Amino acid sequence: MDRTVVELMSENENVKLSCFTTSITYSRHMDTCVLGLELMNLPEVSDEYNEILYDRIPTLPQSLFRDYGIVIHMLRNIAQRILR
């Protein structure tokens, strides 16, 4: 396991997390990977970390109304994800 420092930045907050790499999962083409991390200094930076985590723009729809058209909401959400 390697010790890693991850820096998370948002418009209002900036936090450096000390962590250990617990796993590495590569994509099919080996050009990208996902790191599993175990946070070590979360108690000291928990306020800043929680603000970044919970103040972000949600990626999933926050409400779906049956009468309004579930398919329309899902297509709109997919289109927003593609445009990002």
pLDDT in tens, 26-83: 988 888 888 888 888 777 777 777 777 776 676 676 666 666 667 777 788 888 888 8
pTM score > 0.75 for this model? no
3-state SS string for 8-63? EECCCCEEEEEEEEEEEEECCCCCCEEEEEEECCHHHHHHHHHHHHHCCCCCCCCC
Domain boundaries, the chain: 3-83
pLDDT at 12: 77
